[in-house]
Chains A and B, each alone.
Chain A
Amino acid sequence: MGKRFSRGPDGAAASRKRQKVVHEAPTSEEIHASRQLQQLLAFSQDPVRARHGLQSFKLFLDELLSPASNDADRPRILRDYLQFARPADDDENAVYLPDLMQAWSYAGQTNNDNVMSAVPVVLALLLKLLSQSLDTVPYGLGICRTLLQKRQQELIARNLSADKGKAFIISPTLRMLKEAVSFDGGAIARPMFRARASMLKSLARNMGIVHIGDEAEDTKRPSARTNAILFFLSALKFLHPEAKKELLSQRDIVSALTRDVKQDPPYLVRELLEGLRSHVLLDDKLQREAKASLLNASTLTRLSALYQYRLDTAAAEGVPSIADVAHEFLLTACTNPACGVLRQDSGFYPREIDPNAAVPTTELEELGLEAITWTNKFKTEVPVRNYTLSNFLPNLRPWSSLKQSELITSIFKVAPELVASYFLTNKSFTFEPKLSATWIGYAAFLFNTVTLPIPDYFCRATAFPELPPPTSIVIDNILPLPLNQKALSRSLANKSNMISFFATRILVVAIEKLDAAIKMHQDPSHSNRTAWAEAARRLVDEFCQRSPGIKEMINSYRSIPGGDVLHREAASRLLRLCYEVLPQVALMAKFDVSPFLETSLGRLSKQELDDPRDFALSLKELENLLAIAGYSPGMRWFAALEALSLSPFTLLLKVCVDAPHGVALETIREVLNFVAVEQQLVPADNKHPGLIALLEALQSLRQSHPDSVTQLWPFLDNCLTRCSNTPVKYVEKLQETIQEAAETAGQGFSTAVASPVAMAMLEQLPFVAAKEREQATLKALGRFLPKFLGFSATAGESRPLLSLIFSKMVIHLADSKGKLAKAGVPEGLEIKHSPWPLTPEAPARKAKASSAARQEGGNSEPGMDAETLTNTLHMPDGLEADNSALVKWSSKTVDELVDEGYLTSLIALLVSEHASIRKEALVNILKAAAKIKQSEYEEKEQVWLLLSELAETARDKVNDGPLPSTIASFACHALHVLRDPLSSLYSKVNNFLTRGPFWTLDRLPLVDEVLLEEPVVGDAYYAQVNWLLEYLMDGLRTQHDLELFHKKRARGPVFERILALAANPYMRLPLRTQVLRLLYRATGIEGGSTTLTTRFGIVNWLEARQAGCTDDSEEAAVYGGLRRRVWETCDQDRVRVWSKGALGDGTDGTSKN
Chain B
Amino acid sequence: MAPPQKPDQEVTAAFTAYYLQRATTEFAEDLDKVRAADDFKNDALQILVSALQQGTAMFTPEEQKRIVTSAARPAGKP
Contact = CB atoms under 8 A, between A and B. Distances in A.
A570 B55 contact: yes
A6 B48 CA distance: 70
A400 B76 contact: no
Contacts of A617: 22, 67
B66 to A, nearest CB: 5
- Give the secondary structure class of A's interface: helix
A614 B67 CA distance: 8
Contacts of B39: 400, 436-438
Contacts of A400: 39, 42-44, 47
Contact of A451 (B19, B57, B66): B57
A703 B74 CA distance: 9
B51 A702 contact: no
Contacts of A607: 77
Contacts of A662: 3, 69-71
Interface in B59-76: 63, 66-74, 76
Contact of B26 (A438, A443, A497): A497
Interface residues of B, number: 42
Contact of A706 (B1, B51, B77): B77
A706 B54 contact: no
A612 B71 contact: yes
Given A447-B54, A660-B70, A437 B48 contact: yes
A709 B1 CA distance: 22
A501 interface: yes
A716 interface: no
A262 interface: no
Interface stretch (A234-242, A561-569, A629-637): A561-569
Interface in A436-452: 436-438, 440-441, 443-444, 447-448, 451
Given A451-B57, A505-B58, A613-B68, A402 B47 contact: yes
A437 B48 CA distance: 7
Interface string A544-573: 000000000000000000011111001001
B37 A436 contact: yes
A1119 B52 CA distance: 49
Contacts of B67: 613, 616-617, 620
A437 B57 contact: no
A564 B26 contact: yes
A305 B31 CA distance: 29
A660 B73 contact: yes
B78 to A, nearest CB: 5
Interface in A680-726: 702-703, 706-707, 709-710
A1153 B44 CA distance: 75
A707 B51 contact: no
A800 to B, nearest CB: 34
Nearest to B37: A436
A411 B64 CA distance: 29
A567 B26 contact: yes
A402 B76 contact: no
Contacts of B50: 402, 444
B47 A441 contact: yes
B76 A703 contact: yes
B6 to A, nearest CB: 12
Interface of B: 1, 3, 18-19, 22-23, 26-27, 30-31, 33-34, 37-44, 46-48, 50-51, 54-55, 57-58, 63, 66-74, 76-78
16 contacts: A400-B42, A400-B47, A401-B43, A437-B40, A437-B44, A451-B57, A497-B30, A505-B58, A564-B26, A566-B19, A607-B77, A616-B66, A661-B71, A662-B71, A664-B66, A707-B78
Given A658-B77, A664-B66, A706-B77, 12 more contacts: A400-B44, A402-B47, A437-B39, A443-B51, A498-B31, A566-B23, A566-B26, A616-B66, A661-B71, A703-B76, A706-B76, A707-B78
